[in-house]
Amino acid sequence: MTTNIETFQFQAEARQVLELMIHSLYTNKEIFLRELISNASDALDRLRFEALSHPELISADDKLEIWIESDSMARTLTIHDDGIGMSRDEVIANIGTIAKSGTRELLQTLREKQSSEGLGTLIGQFGVGFYSAFMVADRVTLVTRRAGESDATQWDSTGDGTFTISAAAKFNRGTSITLHLKKFEEDAEVEDFTDKWVISRIVKRYSDFVAYPIIYKEKDAKEPDKPLNSMKPIWTRPRSEVTAEEYKEFYKHISHDWNEPMETWPFRAEGRSEYRALLFIPSQAPLDLFYATGKFGLHLYVRRVLIMEHCEELLPGYLRFVRGVVDSADLPLNVSRQRLQEDRHITQIRKWLTKKILDSLEDMMKSESGKYGEFWKQFGRVLKEGVSFDFENKDRLLSLYLFESSYDGEKPTTLKDYVSRMKETQSAIYYLTGPSRRAVEHSPHLEAFQERGYEVLYLVDAVDELLIQGLPEFDGKNVKSVGKGTADLGEEKDLKEKTPGYSSLIEVLAKKLEDRVKEVRLSSRLTASPACLVVSDHDVSPNLEKLLNQMKGDGSKQKRIMELNPNHEIILKMRDRAEDAMIDDFAELLFGYALLAEGSDLQDPLKFNQAVMRVLAKTI
């Protein structure tokens, strides 16, 4: 065998992650073993899956196993699997690079937080599990051979910024990872990872449910021991027999999340079809929840054989944050990814799971409202996508939604509770969309509604604009924006009578602002402010216009309607001075004021500024 050794640099993010591992003060170092066993188990799953279409990859007497071997003299620990293995290129890509989206941002937060909890999230969410070996080892050697290929590859690193790749002689398919453990100090809090009892305890604790035997072998021992793990698929066991700890570890295994789940839901369907599911709600939304590159979907098993790791078809998109496994007895083992979408069983499972999840969320909302609030903070934005896509469950979804509102400070409300608080004279459910709570709650559009004690919902998520378009009414009540159309507060007659007195002001303002405003009219919407801008009932809100423009990268503006408060001092004075020489500047200032007051940007800051200067100079 030639020993042509090539040296590579770790990619920048990988280097930073490694550095974190090497200098980690994270006390729970034993989890490195869980990570490596998890990778070994994934590799065996993949082999079994590929063998469905390439049976030659596995022979009949192949035992699919994971071996752990320790040598206390040499202080090495080796984890073997005879799984799918890696080609040379795969080793370089998988173990030298982290191209996963969000790693950089996460590293940044981590640096700011400096917490070991953050380290856990980092390793978990971004699949840097392999590198956790460097928490306990000062050198790691990996030898691997891809199933179906004849060449083996060796990877070596001390984690110092480079790794080497060379050809290796390897017996059979699969991967062996040898850790050269850091010096063992009796008094340090780290355990001796070459000790059989230590290993056996760690495996039991974290990896008991792994579906392949995990076998321990001491160096020079003649007979290997019996498997350390029970291998029983956790979702087939009755809930009463599984400990909370076991559920948590299983969750961590499948989700690659180091945090504990917020909820664990085992479901079981019996009758004509038989499926089981074990679902989890994470306690924190992953960073890639809204990235197109985010990987979601449940693990799909058919009679306990893993068929697919990320089966997105099993849940509607708005439930993509749910993790877990589904096991079905009805699907064929060789179900193909392309056919999944039309598969009758899959559709049926999706329906069933959706119902189960919504049931459980309703229960949580009823009996644990604090927890539900926490859930909503993490995943509400995703759940809100549902109402536009899932017509069948629209009403159930609406009852699960929480909204900020003018009612009770920070506490969000359901639509049902909103309706229960509606005033007798109130004819609609009112809302205002905008970029942030601060922007909407100070908007002049709210004034008259608030004065009457009418509650207004603050819709400040981007997805709310979509949601509200699919929600013309709720519980028989119209849903209406306070920034659209006429205010309809029962004062139309009064306004009509007042209007002639303002006709020259209205005319002048309409003329001066004609490139930006399509109509000027009196309004009952305002109490404290002189003017505001609204759109017609069927126009897009300024907030949505801004979002759309950001996407398109242009800044075109639809013309708005300017509403005047006939009782405001400024408007009363302007009415009497509609012919004033400064009316141009007054118009400019009034328009700019209205934009700023609702949280929008000035369209022409220069023009506005010049008007400010002229008016100041005149009046000072």
Q: Find the binder of ligand ADP among 10, 26, 32, 130 (CB under 6 A).
A: 130
Q: Residue 86 CB, nearest distance to ligand ADP (Å)?
A: 5
96 contributes a contact to ligand ADP by CB under 6 A: no
Total residues in contact with ligand ADP, by rule CB under 6 A? 17
166 contributes a contact to ligand ADP by CB under 6 A: no
Helix (H) or strand (E) holding 42: helix 31-53
| Interface segment toward ligand ADP; rule CB under 6 A; list 3-11, 32-40, 105-113, 240-248 | 32-40
349 contributes a contact to ligand ADP by CB under 6 A: no
Handedness of CA 442, 445, 447, 450 (dihedral sign): negative
Helix (H) or strand (E) holding 325: strand 323-328
Q: Which one, 35 or 464, has the nearer CB to ligand ADP?
A: 35
Closest CA to 119 of 131, 130, 134, 107: 107
176 contributes a contact to ligand ADP by CB under 6 A: no
For residue 569 the two structure tokens come to 């001092």
Instruction: State CA 417 to chain mean position distance.
Output: 27
CA dihedral defined by 435, 440, 444, 448, rounded to 10 degrees?
Answer: 140
d(CA 53, CA 51): 5
Q: Which one, 76 or 405, has the nearer CB to ligand ADP?
A: 76
Strand 66-71: give its sheet, edge to edge. 6-9, 162-168, 152-157, 137-145, 174-181, 76-81, 66-71, 214-218
Q: Find the binder of ligand ADP among 39, 125, 178, 524 (CB under 6 A).
A: 39
Q: Which one, 128 or 429, has the nearer CB to ligand ADP?
A: 128
d(CA 142, CA 133): 11
| Interface segment toward ligand ADP; rule CB under 6 A; list 128-136, 475-483, 510-518, 554-562 | 128-136
DSSP letter at 318? Answer: G
Q: Find the binder of ligand ADP among 13, 33, 83, 282 (CB under 6 A).
A: 83
88 contributes a contact to ligand ADP by CB under 6 A: no
Q: Find the binder of ligand ADP among 24, 94, 348, 486 (CB under 6 A).
A: 94
Q: Which one, 162 or 603, has the nearer CB to ligand ADP?
A: 162
Question: Cβ distance 95 to 39 under 8 Å?
Answer: no
SS3 379: helix
Q: Residue 323 CB, nearest distance to ligand ADP (Å)?
A: 14
| Interface segment toward ligand ADP; rule CB under 6 A; list 121-129, 391-399, 500-508, 565-573 | 121-129
Question: Cβ distance 311 to 299 under 8 Å?
Answer: yes
Q: Find the binder of ligand ADP among 102, 120, 127, 501 (CB under 6 A).
A: 127
Question: Cβ distance 252 to 124 under 8 Å?
Answer: yes
47 contributes a contact to ligand ADP by CB under 6 A: no
Q: Which one, 132 or 529, has the nearer CB to ligand ADP?
A: 132
379 contributes a contact to ligand ADP by CB under 6 A: no
Q: Residue 126 CB, nearest distance to ligand ADP (Å)?
A: 8
- Point out the residue whose Cβ comes nearest to ligand ADP: 127
Question: Cβ distance 517 to 562 under 8 Å?
Answer: yes
Q: Which one, 86 or 210, has the nearer CB to ligand ADP?
A: 86
Question: Cβ distance 561 to 535 under 8 Å?
Answer: yes
286 contributes a contact to ligand ADP by CB under 6 A: no
Specify the amino acid at residue 149: E
d(CA 573, CA 414): 44
- What's the 3-state SS for 34-100? HHHHHHHHHHHHHHHHHHHHCHHHCCCCCCCCEEEEEECCCCEEEEEECCCCCCHHHHHHHHHCCCC
Q: Residue 135 CB, nearest distance to ligand ADP (Å)?
A: 13
d(CA 257, CA 238): 24
d(CA 343, CA 349): 10
Closest CA to 286 of 317, 322, 310, 311: 322
Question: Cβ distance 414 to 320 under 8 Å?
Answer: no
143 contributes a contact to ligand ADP by CB under 6 A: no
Q: Residue 269 CB, nearest distance to ligand ADP (Å)?
A: 31
Q: Which one, 84 or 597, has the nearer CB to ligand ADP?
A: 84
Q: How many CB atoms lie within 10 A of CB 411?
A: 10
175 contributes a contact to ligand ADP by CB under 6 A: yes
Strand 456-459 vs strand 428-433: parallel, antiparallel, or unpaired? Answer: parallel
Q: Find the binder of ligand ADP among 31, 122, 128, 300 (CB under 6 A).
A: 128
| Interface segment toward ligand ADP; rule CB under 6 A; list 127-135, 311-319, 368-376, 475-483 | 127-135
524 contributes a contact to ligand ADP by CB under 6 A: no
| Interface segment toward ligand ADP; rule CB under 6 A; list 124-132, 343-351, 443-451, 457-465 | 124-132
Q: Which one, 197 or 291, has the nearer CB to ligand ADP?
A: 291
For residue 503 the two structure tokens come to 């006709």
Q: Find the binder of ligand ADP among 86, 234, 349, 358 (CB under 6 A).
A: 86
Helix (H) or strand (E) holding 264: strand 261-269
Q: How many CB atoms lie within 10 A of CB 1?
A: 8
Q: What are phi and psi of 302, to 5 degrees?
A: -120, 115
Q: Which one, 162 or 348, has the nearer CB to ligand ADP?
A: 162
| Interface segment toward ligand ADP; rule CB under 6 A; list 77-85, 332-340, 516-524, 578-586 | 77-85
Q: Which one, 85 or 386, has the nearer CB to ligand ADP?
A: 85
Which residues contact ligand ADP by CB under 6 A? 35, 39-40, 43, 81, 83-86, 94-95, 127-130, 175, 256
